[in-house]
């Protein structure tokens, strides 16, 4: 948003913990970059209309709108915004990386800019990117095992968790026997000493008390163009 010259933006998201997470996560960066959040509109995942919320957003004349929904219901605000004549940019989170969001949103969600794990656009990444080779290998293995391509980031999250486990288990087995309490302790300790493990989504480095294990390398920007996610360097 800062790069795009956004000075203020409206927010609309789910009226639950996910909606809170996105809104709260936007506050500090927005403040640090001199941007103002004009609205904090919410809707339930089961709602069929957000007309009231969108009218409030339109009244503020925002430079942009941040979407805090996901999947099919994540398309409801963009659809309503389009109906009301909104022409400004839309921004979102990885929760929108879903085939149903694209199918339901149609033209209303074209151009939305989303942060994503690099595996989502693996074939578009430069050859030097850490994720490209392992992500393409993962996709090929997924296709072979399931007879269909992976369309979101969740299967890749699971794959990365498996890689973390294998890496830690190998090191834990050097000090304890599998199946024992000592091994479980060694496995936990090994996970928290994971260093520079390359996965599809990130390069993992865990420390006690810091369980995310990722940094900014775990995200890329992707824009929805003609119904497909396009990598934005």
pLDDT in tens, 161-194: 999 999 999 999 999 999 999 999 999 999 999 9
What tens digit of pLDDT does each residue of 21-55 get? 999 999 999 999 999 999 999 999 999 999 999 99
208: nearest Cα among 197, 193, 196:
193
In this prediction the pTM is 0.90
Q: Helix (H) and strand (E) counts for the chain? A: 7, 10
Cα 166 to Cα 76: distance, rounded to the nearest angstrom = 41
């Amino acid at each position: 948003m800062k790069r795009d010259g956004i000075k203020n933006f409206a927010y609309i998201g789910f009226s639950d913990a996910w909606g809170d997470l996105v809104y709260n996560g936007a506050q500090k960066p927005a403040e640090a970059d001199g941007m103002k959040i004009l609205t904090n509109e919410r809707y339930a995942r089961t709602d069929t209309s957000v007309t009231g919320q969108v009218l409030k957003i339109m009244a503020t004349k925002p430079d942009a709108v941040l979407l805090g929904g996901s999947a099919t219901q994540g398309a409801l605000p963009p659809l309503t915004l389009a109906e009301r004549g909104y022409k400004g940019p839309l921004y979102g989170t990885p929760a929108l990386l879903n085939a149903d969001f694209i199918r339901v949103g149609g033209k209303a969600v074209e151009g939305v800019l989303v942060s994503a794990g690099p595996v989502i656009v693996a074939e578009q990444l430069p050859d030097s990117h850490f994720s490209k080779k392992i992500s393409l290998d993962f996709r090929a293995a997924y296709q072979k095992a399931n007879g269909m391509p992976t369309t979101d980031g969740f299967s890749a999250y699971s794959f990365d968790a498996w890689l973390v486990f294998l890496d830690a288990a190998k090191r834990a087995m050097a000090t304890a026997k599998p199946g024992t309490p000592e091994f479980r302790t060694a496995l936990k300790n090994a996970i928290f000493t994971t260093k520079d493990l390359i996965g599809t989504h990130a390069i993992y480095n865990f420390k006690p008390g810091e369980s995310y294990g990722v940094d900014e390398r775990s995200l890329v920007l992707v824009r929805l163009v003609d119904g497909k996610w396009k990598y934005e360097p």
